[in-house]
A and B are shown apart, each in its own frame.
Chain A
Amino acid sequence: MPVIDLREVSLWRRTQEEFHYDLKRFVFNLLRGRHRRPNRRQVLEGVNIAVHAGEKVGIIGPNGSGKTTLLKVICGILAPTRGTVNTFGVIAPLIELAAGFDVELSLVDNIVYYGLLLGIARRRMLQHVERILDFAELGEYRNEPVKTLSSGMTARLGFAIATEFRPDILILDEVLAVGDEAFQRKCRQRIDALWDDHVTILVVSHNLDFIVRSCNRALWIDRGRIVYDGAPYEAVLRYRLKVEEQRLAAEQARTPMVLVAPNHSNSKYAGQVFAYFEGRLHLVVDRNWMNQSGLDDAEAIRFNDEILDRIPLGETIGTLRGITAG
């Protein structure tokens, strides 16, 4: 039986526009019948994942593809719009360690509070306070407020708390290494110990070599969909190919394409010359090049108004020769 089971999970999220942030305007719009539903964007689409106990799953994909959102859905922070999410066992999220601290309170109070956030009972947490302070090497600060710690010390404390208990499922958003050289070694040992253990691990990382080395399964996510699910080596290879492909396509898009609106038609663009590059349409002022390059209007017939309207119009430029040269 899988410990993480996602079936047909889709998630729409409201885009953060300022539209409804104002009660006065909301009521006003409602009264005038101008109320419209806020825009929503699909972040995850038909995701199916079954992870079994002990699997180490790497998640790769470009920025904004939904990797962190997927982790949030698995952690139960976000509820899916459609589909079901089932998890079994204690999940420990290791996302941004200092988030749970109240800087005004003492280290001990913060340790107990942080433990509660992770779902560990107060009494159990109190028994672990010494071990945590020991590991973080912060015993002498126990009754000081957290704000007296340096940022490195704070991260050390966070790491020590979050890894004190062996979870069933460990969620890592980028592998972390905190503190100075010596402490980083300690961190790595702890993470490695979890890795060797029967703990199920989900890790998001842009370090593809790390994914190949440390995981036994990889998910490639693009635009909220799982593109590939399988061996890390295969996933990373396919992902790299795709990235290279996109880079080449983007390069091509930078070389301009010449468009001439038909002279004879009653188009509002009639007779005008455009250069299309970087996704924008540029109006070319100097028409001399046309005669020189022997272009005639017939070539541009396929660019009718409908297409031209759809392309955003950029700024007017002097000559076309300048662009092609650049």
Chain B
Amino acid sequence: MKEGVVALFPSSNRASMRRYFELITTIAERNIKARYRGSVLGVFWSLSNPLIMTGIYTLIFGTAFSSYYGNSILNYVLAVFMGLVVVTFFAQSSSQALTSVVANGSLVNKIKIPLSVFPVSIVVANLFQFLVGVLPVIVFVTLFASHNPERVLLLIAPAVSLLLVTVGASLAVSALFVFFRDLPYIYELMVFIIWMTSPIFYPEDIVPPHLRVWVHLNPIAAIANDIRQIAFNPLAPHLHTLALTLSLGGLTLVLGAVLFVVLQPLAMDLL
């Protein structure tokens, strides 16, 4: 049973750790290359989705909500954009990761590979896109709005939280998909619910006060809030707010990883 109980890593020795990380980077690289073959704009496509969505939300809700953003449409635009990049990163990565283990079913039946490399490398591929396409824009907006380079450093906290949440959710859904092949439809609905219940394109102030605690427990909403606080609020955000978001991210990762480790040995029979 020694082998079966082993967690996400095949074993703790250095050679297999190195193999694990090389597998992740190589599969992620392969993923990126396949995605942008022949596309001149390459990774910058990742910006197009949140930009277009921001445009649409601004057209529809811009005037209605601008009073919550100091009567400035520009502030609304920036706030929506900062929220959208968070939720799109989460939704795209985890939805792509969902099928990744099953898609490699025939491969893992032929060579010993830790199953977790597939969802994790999908997140890494999306992270690369994020770092190249979206992050510079976030940094620029933060500098532009706050005139304070220190704020840029604070962005690391919500960015790490986002990564933790996304890896956790990706591990969970990719393992569950092995057992429940109707999961994509249900997960699509869940992502939609997360999207709608996070104050992304509407101000948090319109959420009824007794429901607001749920907004703060929703890691995606918490991350989006932190980024906006850092970028737009004249007062620096409390460090304990950032720490709380980080621990929400850590909790999601732990839950996802535990689920993955528990399901992994059972999954091989259905791949």
Chain A residues within 8 Å of B, Cβ to Cβ = 13-14, 16, 20-24, 26, 72, 75-80, 82, 84-85, 93, 95-96, 99-100, 102, 104-105, 109, 112-113, 116-119, 121-122
**Known contacts A93-B112, A122-B22; 8 further A-B pairs (Cβ under 8 A):** A16-B270, A20-B180, A23-B176, A23-B180, A79-B3, A96-B110, A113-B30, A119-B15
Q: At the interface with chain A, which of B74-82, B101-109, B124-132, B245-253? A: B101-109
- Bound: A105/B31 CA distance, A: 10
Q: Would B112 and A76 count as touching, CB distance under 8 A?
A: yes
Residues of A within 8 A of B270 (CB): 14, 16
Q: Would B109 and A102 count as touching, CB distance under 8 A?
A: no
Q: Is B147 an interface residue (CB 8 A)?
A: no
Q: At the interface with chain A, which of B191-199, B226-234, B261-269? A: B261-269
Q: Mark each residue of chain B from 15 to 33: 1 if its CB lies under 8 Å from any CB of chain A, else 0.
A: 1001100110011001001
Within the complex, the shortest CB–CB distance from A19 to chain B, in Å, comes to 10
- Bound: A117/B37 CA distance, A: 23
Residues of B within 8 A of A21 (CB): 179-182
- Of A99, A105, A117, A119, which contacts B33 at CB under 8 A? A105
Residues of A within 8 A of B4 (CB): 79-80
- Of A72, A80, A85, A121, which contacts B22 at CB under 8 A? A121
- Bound: A93/B176 CA distance, A: 28
- Bound: A118/B107 CA distance, A: 12
Q: Which residue of B lies closest to A104 (CB)?
A: B34
Q: Is B60 an interface residue (CB 8 A)?
A: no
Within the complex, the shortest CB–CB distance from B191 to chain A, in Å, comes to 15
Q: Would B26 and A116 count as touching, CB distance under 8 A?
A: yes
A22-B180, A23-B180, A122-B22 known; A104+B37 contact, CB < 8 A = yes
Q: Which residue of B lies closest to A73 (CB)?
A: B3
Residues of B within 8 A of A76 (CB): 3, 112
Residues of B within 8 A of A24 (CB): 182, 186
Residues of A within 8 A of B181 (CB): 21-22
* Contacts A/B (CB < 8 Å), 13 sampled: A13-B269, A16-B270, A23-B183, A76-B3, A79-B3, A79-B4, A79-B265, A93-B110, A99-B107, A100-B107, A102-B30, A105-B34, A122-B22
Q: Which residue of A lies closest to B34 (CB)?
A: A104
Residues of B within 8 A of A82 (CB): 1
Q: Is B2 an interface residue (CB 8 A)?
A: yes
Residues of B within 8 A of A99 (CB): 106-107, 110-111
Q: Mark each residue of chain B from 71 to 97: 1 if its CB lies under 8 Å from any CB of chain A, else 0.
A: 000000000000000000000000000
Q: Is B113 an interface residue (CB 8 A)?
A: yes
Chain B residues within 8 Å of A, Cβ to Cβ = 1-4, 15, 18-19, 22-23, 26-27, 30, 33-34, 37, 106-113, 176, 179-183, 186, 265-266, 268-270
- Bound: A84/B19 CA distance, A: 24
Q: Which residue of A lies closest to B31 (CB)?
A: A102
Q: Would B18 and A117 count as touching, CB distance under 8 A?
A: no
Q: Would A109 and B30 count as touching, CB distance under 8 A?
A: yes
- Of A14, A79, A112, A117, which contacts B113 at CB under 8 A? A117
- Bound: A93/B111 CA distance, A: 7
- Of B2, B34, B266, which contacts A102 at CB under 8 A? B34
- Residue from A72, A80, A99 with most neighbouring chain B CB atoms (10 Å): A99
Q: Would A14 and B107 count as touching, CB distance under 8 A?
A: no
- Bound: A237/B34 CA distance, A: 53
Residues of B within 8 A of A77 (CB): 108-112, 268
Report the 5 A-B pairs with minimum CB-CB distance, sorted nearest first. A79-B4, A23-B180, A14-B269, A76-B112, A95-B110
- Bound: A112/B186 CA distance, A: 37
Residues of A within 8 A of B265 (CB): 79
Within the complex, the shortest CB–CB distance from A77 to chain B, in Å, comes to 5
A14-B270, A26-B180, A100-B107 known; A75+B112 contact, CB < 8 A = yes
Residues of B within 8 A of A20 (CB): 179-180
Residues of B within 8 A of A78 (CB): 268
Residues of B within 8 A of A84 (CB): 1-2
- Bound: A9/B179 CA distance, A: 26
Residues of A within 8 A of B19 (CB): 116, 119, 121
Q: Which residue of B lies closest to A109 (CB)?
A: B30
Residues of B within 8 A of A100 (CB): 107, 110-111
- Bound: A117/B121 CA distance, A: 14
- Bound: A42/B158 CA distance, A: 49
Q: Would A117 and B180 count as touching, CB distance under 8 A?
A: no
Q: Would A117 and B3 count as touching, CB distance under 8 A?
A: no
Residues of A within 8 A of B108 (CB): 77
Within the complex, the shortest CB–CB distance from A42 to chain B, in Å, comes to 13
Residues of B within 8 A of A93 (CB): 110-112
- Bound: A113/B183 CA distance, A: 30
- Bound: A121/B19 CA distance, A: 7
Q: Would A112 and B110 count as touching, CB distance under 8 A?
A: no
- Bound: A132/B103 CA distance, A: 28
Q: Would B26 and A112 count as touching, CB distance under 8 A?
A: yes
Q: Which residue of A lies closest to B10 (CB)?
A: A76
Within the complex, the shortest CB–CB distance from B268 to chain A, in Å, comes to 6
Residues of B within 8 A of A119 (CB): 15, 19
